Amino acid sequence: MIRDRLGPALWSSYFKFCIVRDPFEKLISAFYFRKARKKISTDSSEPDAKQFEHWLLAAKLPHDRNKYLIDGQFCLDYIVRYESLAADLAHVCAQLNLPWNPSRLPAFKAGIRPPEATVEKLYTETSREIVRKAYDFELRTFGYSMDSLRNAER
């Protein structure tokens, strides 16, 4: 809609970017955020990995494809990765000739996810497969994988 309203010349002149996050991490964050807000009911007698798996099976998983695809085609100039947020935002600011002050970057939802809620501990084979199927496009397009997360946690 925005592209259509701007027209091709103006649309092409804009620097277009968005933020992406590894789907495996993103879903852990979403699970604990919704759990803290009591948006999901869980059986507290079950281990978190089992609760997480049940939630993945039942939830409408969040997707951001409408932020970077138009008619199935990638439409942005740059991707900011959540995992390298400060450095990537510094790049965006440089690109736009804007001052960058990383100390002004807020930390939203901090402290909701327990420190022990890691990819290694929460993902079962079933939950890994759910994410692989639901986020195949993101995993392929942005190069995310379970292996890269395991290495990052160590």
In this predicted model, what pLDDT tens digit does every residue of 56-76 receive, in sequence order? 999 899 889 999 999 999 999
* Residues in CB range of 68: below 8 A, 6 or more apart: 18, 20, 74, 75, 76, 79
Q: 36 pLDDT band (50/70/90 cuts)?
A: confident
Mean pLDDT on 93-102? 95
Quote the pLDDT of residue 52.
Answer: 92
Domain count, the chain: 1
**Residues with Cβ within 8 Å of residue 121, at least 6 apart in sequence:** 48, 49
Beta strands 69-70 and 73-74 are: antiparallel
**Res 153 pLDDT > 80:** no
Is residue 18 within 8 A of residue 64, CB to CB? The reply is yes
Residue 31: pLDDT band by 50, 70, 90 thresholds?
Answer: very high
How many residues can be counted in the chain?
154
Mean pLDDT over 10-38 rounds to: 92
Q: How far is the C-alpha of 85 from the C-alpha of 90, rounded, in Å?
A: 8
Distance of CA 86 to the CA centre of its chain: 15
Q: Is residue 132 over pLDDT 90?
A: yes
Structure tokens, 135: 């986020």
Distance CA 54, CA 59 (A): 8
Q: How far apart are CA 80 and CA 28, in angstroms?
A: 20
Q: What is the pTM for the complete model shown?
A: 0.84
Q: What range defines the domain where residue 20 resides?
A: 2-153
Map residue 18 onto helix, strand or coil: strand
